[in-house]
Amino acid sequence: MDFLGIHLTLLIGPSVPLPAPVDLMEALEEVEVHTGDDRSGFQIRFQVGRCGPADLLDYALLASPLLQTWNRVILIVTFNATPRVLMDGFVTQREFSASNEPGRSFITLTGDDVSVKLDLEEKSAEHVGEGSLTGVFGHDSSPFALSSVRPSEASASSPGRSGRPGMPRCSTGSAASGGASSRCARWAGSGS
């Protein structure tokens, strides 16, 4: 191997980028890196085609987990045996352009430098069913709401509704009309 000259190394992967496999490097058609004052980015184009029974249903590269969005990409250029990182970023877009002409179908990965992760906006949302069930049933249906049993009084050794120790057992009594109640009338800290 000639160490002098210019060499490109592509590291890619979901969390820890590793050297790209041979079939991916053989399909590499073009790499473009652009830099700017506020953000840098890249575009990598791979040639895809059908080349055997494995490609009957779909192009093999389309199914590759390495070419998914939010995978990490590191491009390293080696000049005369001195490696330099050209780009360190994440894939933000994947585009497939098909053609009827052989050798003219491409997958293009577009991405930004690692600062794109800093710009992601955190969203918080209320999830129904977590915490108190007041919003779901219109009343507080926590296990300790219907009795004077406090969580500290619940026996750690007694199995609860789902057989878990420390959860009070619901004793299903009869309702005023004589039928079984749809919700527990009382909660007991011991198995009753």
The per-residue pLDDT for range 133-165, each reduced to its tens digit, is 444 444 544 444 444 444 444 444 444 444 444
Residues 98, 116: Cα–Cα separation, whole Å: 29
What CATH number has the domain spanning 6-115? Answer: 2.40.10
pLDDT tens digits along 2-50: 667 899 999 999 989 999 999 999 999 999 999 988 889 999 999 988 7
The tokens 């969005």 sit on which residue? Answer: 69
Where does the pLDDT of residue 186 fall: very low under 50, low under 70, confident under 90, or very high at 90 and above? Answer: very low
Mean pLDDT of 110-127: 85
Give per-residue pLDDT as tens, 72-88.
999 999 998 899 999 99
Nearest CA to 96 out of 104, 87, 88 is that of 104
**How high is the pLDDT of residue 172?**
41
Tell me the sheet residues that pair with 43. 32, 110
In angstroms, the Cα distances linking 175 to 100, 160, 179, 183 are 73, 22, 6, 9
> What DSSP character marks residue 136?
H
52 confidence band (pLDDT: 50, 70, 90): low
What distance separates the 2 farthest-apart alpha carbons in the chain? 92
CA distance 89 to 71: 9
Least confident residue range of 72-81, 119-128, 181-190: 181-190
For the chain, the structural domain boundaries read 6-115, 136-192
Three-class SS state of 106: strand
